[in-house]
């Protein structure tokens, strides 16, 4: 499924590239493990303190920690998934994002259908947003912003954790921009958002149809992304 | 056979990769490029790009959170 | 002492989990699992940037501003969230948790480093990019997580429309970046 190169640590001494300059002797690296354990301990203490306030807070704290850990470990970057095809023609992150979409689609549909079949209100329907000019303008603004700031919302938070000064600044202005957007939201709502249709795909295609069609679209995009990369990188089918 | 260095320390994605691409275009076959990076994403996407292009790539972790990516231009 | 720690980090399984990066696909599968888990747990999918509007409101109130009259914060739910404060806000805990999780992951791999802002270009890019993302996320009702990932997972057409225009934006952003910020 994936032909990603993940061998990031070459075998010691197996260097095949002859470098002209002699490599400077490296100072011994300092293990950051003690700091890691310290941070972990702090996270646990915060989690326990939060659980005294409410178990919900503690649970979201744990979820946040897991998301951050996964994002950093896999260098998962929604920005790169949309930007790299434009810059390098690489679509490996794009395809990974599509896989995440496919899996979560199945899980979400199951949870939503369960509520529907039992006559309960379907959860999370507020995330089925109205489609209007605001979606278009917002999408373009966000797209430009995330590429020049070098990180989307989750990516910015993750890079703040990794110690990027630049993303700390962009997080601050992300917050300022959010406030600005919230300030103007009344106008946008009255003129555009309120008239925008909310389209929940199962309402159109039925539950089964919606899931199948969405998965098919994701599969087609996956194939298109793979073909695009091969063309861009000049890879011909050898195997 | 020349060796070049690009300093991408402190640069955020995708600037390191774009700098590397730009430099590689000006180099001759057999030349070696050393990209100094401290962006953990570049440590994945530069090698991926270079390997896809068919160049020889090595990654060295020179310090905590700092890498040198050595690329030998092969074509 | 350093040797003791280094020895642990040389362990094969430690390297597998904590030192070497996961593949993108591994990340995708794990994120999808946790996305489903948070939805099953809380009834709402993962969202990131809605919280930033609340942070903005709290900061604005700190400097003497008032957002009670704003349409965005006018609902009783939004008012209740603002009133109960940062420490009772689940979204804030989630976002701060992401920062801590990433910090922990970087430290466990001994790859943490503070990266200073290098030049004025980066300042301009960060300020401009941050503002555009903030404003854009409010318009679209979410960011790459809430409107894109959670939108598509929720079988909403808005997620796909947002994705399309996000791509258009990313295309122009790439051109801008190559021209001005390199």
How would residue A13 be classed by pLDDT, with cut points 50, 70 and 90? very low
* pLDDT, mean of residues C62-81: 91
* CA of residue A48 relative to chain centroid, distance: 28
* pLDDT, mean of residues C28-47: 96
Query: What's the whole-number average pLDDT of chain B?
Result: 88
At residue A10, the pLDDT reads: 44
- The verdict on a CB contact (< 8 Å) between A87 and B62 is no
| C21, C117, C178: residue with CB nearest B44 | C21
Assign 3-class secondary structure to A3-72: CCCCCCCCCCCCCCCCCCCCCCCCCCCCCCHHHHHHHHHHHHHHHHHHHHHCHHHHHHHHHHHHHHHHHH
Residue C168 to residue C98: CA distance in whole angstroms? 28
Of the candidates C169, C130, B55, C101, the one whose C-alpha atom is nearest the C-alpha of residue A73 is C101
Of the candidates C105, C100, B44, the one whose C-alpha atom is nearest the C-alpha of residue A73 is C105
At residue C158, the pLDDT reads: 96
- Domains parsed from chain B with CATH numbers: 3-72 (3.30.110.40)
* A150 CB within 8 Å of a chain B CB: yes
> Where does C75-158 show beta strands of DSSP type E?
none
How would residue A89 be classed by pLDDT, with cut points 50, 70 and 90? confident
Residue of chain A nearest C6, judged by CA positions: A31
Query: What's the whole-number average pLDDT of chain A?
Result: 89
pLDDT in tens, B15-41: 888 889 888 888 888 899 999 998 888
How far apart, in Å, do the first and last CA atoms of chain B sit? 14
Residue of chain A nearest B38, judged by CA positions: A164
pLDDT over threshold 50, residue A33: yes
Chain C residues in contact with A111 by the CB 8 A cut-off are: 36, 39-40
Q: Confirm if A95 and C15 have CB atoms less than 8 A apart.
A: no
**Chains with ≥3 CB–CB distances under 8 Å to C:** A, B
At residue A165, the pLDDT reads: 92
Find the radius of gyration of the CA atoms of chain A. Answer: 23
Residue C61 to residue C50: CA distance in whole angstroms? 17
Residue of chain A nearest B2, judged by CA positions: A20
Q: What percent of chain C is predicted at pLDDT more than 90?
A: 81
At residue B39, the pLDDT reads: 86
Residue A116 to residue C65: CA distance in whole angstroms? 43
**Residue B64 distance to chain C (closest CA, Å):** 5
pLDDT over threshold 70, residue A4: no
* B10 CB within 8 Å of a chain C CB: yes
Chain B residues in contact with A166 by the CB 8 A cut-off are: 10, 12
Residue C163 to residue C140: CA distance in whole angstroms? 11
DSSP single-letter state for residue C49:
T
């Amino acid at each position: 499924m994936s032909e990603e190169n993940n061998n990031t640590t070459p075998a010691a001494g197996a260097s095949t590239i002859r470098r002209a300059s002699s490599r400077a002797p490296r100072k011994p690296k300092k293990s950051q493990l003690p700091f890691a354990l310290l941070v972990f301990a702090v996270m646990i203490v915060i989690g326990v303190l939060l659980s005294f306030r409410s178990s919900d807070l503690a649970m979201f704290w744990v979820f946040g920690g897991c998301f951050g850990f996964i994002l950093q470990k896999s260098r998962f970057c929604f920005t790169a998934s949309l930007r790299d095809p434009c810059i390098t023609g690489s679509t490996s992150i794009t395809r990974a994002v599509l896989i995440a979409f496919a899996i979560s689609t199945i899980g979400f549909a199951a949870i939503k259908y369960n509520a529907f079949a039992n006559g309960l209100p379907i959860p999370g329907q507020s995330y089925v947003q109205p489609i209007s000019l605001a979606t278009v303008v917002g999408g373009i603004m966000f797209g430009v912003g995330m590429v020049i700031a070098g990180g989307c919302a989750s990516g910015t938070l993750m890079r703040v954790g990794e110690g990027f000064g630049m993303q700390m600044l962009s997080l601050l202005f992300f917050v300022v921009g959010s406030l600005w957007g919230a300030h103007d939201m009344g106008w946008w709502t009255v003129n555009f958002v309120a008239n925008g249709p909310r389209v929940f795909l199962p309402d159109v295609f039925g539950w089964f149809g919606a899931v199948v069609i969405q998965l098919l679209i994701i599969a087609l995009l996956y194939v298109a992304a793979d073909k695009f990369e091969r063309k861009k990188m000049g890879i011909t089918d050898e195997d | 056979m020349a060796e070049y260095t690009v300093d991408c320390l402190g640069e955020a994605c995708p600037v390191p990769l774009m700098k590397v691409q730009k430099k590689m275009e000006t180099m001759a076959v057999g030349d070696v490029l050393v990209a100094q990076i401290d962006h953990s994403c570049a440590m994945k996407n530069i090698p991926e790009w270079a390997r896809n292009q068919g160049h020889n790539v090595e990654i060295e972790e020179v310090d905590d959170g700092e890498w040198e990516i050595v690329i030998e231009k092969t074509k | 002492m350093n040797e003791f720690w280094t020895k642990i980090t040389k362990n094969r399984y430690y390297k597998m989990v904590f030192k070497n990066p996961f593949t993108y696909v591994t990340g995708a599968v794990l994120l999808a699992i946790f996305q489903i888990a948070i939805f099953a747990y809380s009834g709402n999918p993962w969202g990131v940037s809605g919280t930033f509007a609340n942070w903005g409101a709290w900061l604005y109130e700190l400097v003497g501003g008032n957002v009670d009259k704003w349409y965005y914060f006018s609902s009783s739910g939004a008012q209740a969230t603002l009133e109960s404060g940062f420490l009772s806000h689940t979204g804030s805990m989630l976002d701060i948790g992401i920062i801590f999780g990433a910090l922990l992951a970087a430290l466990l791999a001994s790859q943490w480093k503070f990266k200073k802002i290098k030049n004025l270009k980066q300042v301009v890019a960060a300020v401009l990019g941050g503002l555009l993302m903030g404003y854009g996320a409010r318009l679209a009702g979410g960011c790459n997580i809430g409107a894109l990932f959670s939108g598509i997972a929720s079988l909403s057409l808005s997620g796909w429309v947002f994705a399309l225009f996000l791509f258009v934006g990313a295309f122009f952003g790439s051109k801008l970046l190559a021209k001005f910020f390199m």
